[in-house]
Structure 1
Amino acid sequence: MKDNAIINVRFDADTLCLEWADGLSLNQPLTRYSRLQDASPQARAGFEVLEQGTSVSWPELGIKVEAVDWVWEHLCDAAMQRLHALDWDLERLTPVDQSIVALWRLEADGYNGGFLQFFCNWGDQTCTLALQALAAIGAHESHAVVSRQRQLIAPLEDHPQLETLWDIMQLLSDEQHEVISGELDEQLWSAMEEVPALAARYFYRR
């Protein structure tokens, strides 16, 4: 996203649209920003493009839109659509799309049910891709937490009672659950706030 500033902000009937210097145009429903939805045309026009064109603010309304979040969502949506078109066969995607999908799955499951839900849903391949992507984009805090969580379940790989990945849930001790799903998941939720901006800047136009 370097040197690609927001150059236009406009409103349609039910959407907010941002346009970038390179021609990218993205929309979000106004329901996502209730104060903008309820604002007068005059109040909506009172925006400022901030931080070298990477965000938009409405000071009087107390609203700030981080545009990199929109770009990251756009990249994830596009990669997931391509995955769907390939019958969900991850290995048929390009390496860039594989990385984006892995990060999207980590975010979606990580915020919903934590690391164990992510790993049990998608397995070691996607976890490895996510770790590689976190390292590539410079998300060092997220990488450290996920690496630690992965290490803690590694001893179960050869457990005789492990038939499916979801068996991990029953094979972990209460203490291990507390560390992985309590202490470390809380760290992960905080650390992953770094991902959208880093990922958008790294993967955009790749």
Structure 2
Amino acid sequence: MDEQRQAFEDYSFAVTGKLFDQHGGKMEQLSEKEQEVVRIWRLEADMYNGGFLQYFCNWGPENFEKTQQILTRLGAGKSLAIITECEKMIAVLKDDDRIQELWDIPKYLDEYLDEEQQQRLNELDEEYWENPDDLQLLAYNYYLKHDA
């Protein structure tokens, strides 16, 4: 199992490298499968690095929505529930005129979320870090298993 997780991680790094090395970061130049792998890589890299806010502020709502679809297809229901709840919590800022770019969200979030809600956002990050769906293994089975 660890070999499978590592195989998907290696594959996701290779596809993400291809995105930049061969396509200048233009997602539309990757195949649909490769775009999905990059979206999983983005989710995993940012969620484990800085949590949901880093993930969402780096990649935006369109990437988020496409990632939700991927998680659904993979059967990663717990991860999907976590990021969906996080997004609903930060959606309170969507009509704030001060939000000119995604990284403005963390600047004003504490004006909208009380201490309990902020704690919940942190708890959701921690729940994700527990790897509830074993996303790397699910992704291996979906994207690579038939090629192995």
The alignment's TM-score, normalised by the length of structure 1, stands at 0.64
Distance 1:77 1:169 in 2: 28
2:72 partner letter: A
Q: Secondary structure at the match of 2:131?
A: helix
2:84 partner letter: S
Displacement of 1:192 in angstroms is 5.1
Which has more radius of gyration? 1
1:123 partner letter: G
Q: Which structure shows the higher strand fraction?
A: 1
Q: Does 1:178 align with 2:119?
A: yes
Q: Secondary structure at the match of 1:172?
A: helix
Bigger drift between 189-198 and 148-157 goes to: 189-198
Distance 1:110 1:139 in 2: 15
Show the counterpart of 2:7.
Answer: 71
Show the counterpart of 1:137.
Answer: 74
2:119 partner letter: E
Distance 1:73 1:191 in 2: 14
Aligned 1:1-206 pairs, distance under 5 A = 55=1, 66-84=2-20, 85-173=22-110, 174-175=114-115, 176-180=117-121, 182-191=122-131, 194-204=134-144
Displacement of 1:183 in angstroms is 1.2
- Checking the alignment, whether the CA contact within 8 Å between 1:68 and 1:197 is kept in structure 2 is yes
Point out 4+ residue stretches in structure 1 off by more than 6 angstroms.
Answer: none
Identity between Structure 1 and Structure 2 (%): 36
Instruction: Please list every run of 5 or more consecutive structure 2 residues that lacks an aligned counterpart in the other structure.
Output: none
Displacement of 1:129 in angstroms is 2.0
2:66 partner letter: L
Q: Which structure shows the higher helix fraction?
A: 2
The alignment's TM-score, normalised by the length of structure 2, stands at 0.87
Distance 2:12 2:72 in 1: 18
- Checking the alignment, whether the CA contact within 8 Å between 1:145 and 1:187 is kept in structure 2 is yes
Displacement of 1:177 in angstroms is 2.9
Distance 1:183 1:73 in 2: 25
Distance 2:119 2:101 in 1: 21
Residue-by-residue CA offset, 1:106-130 (whole Å, 9 max, x unaligned): 1111111101001111111221222
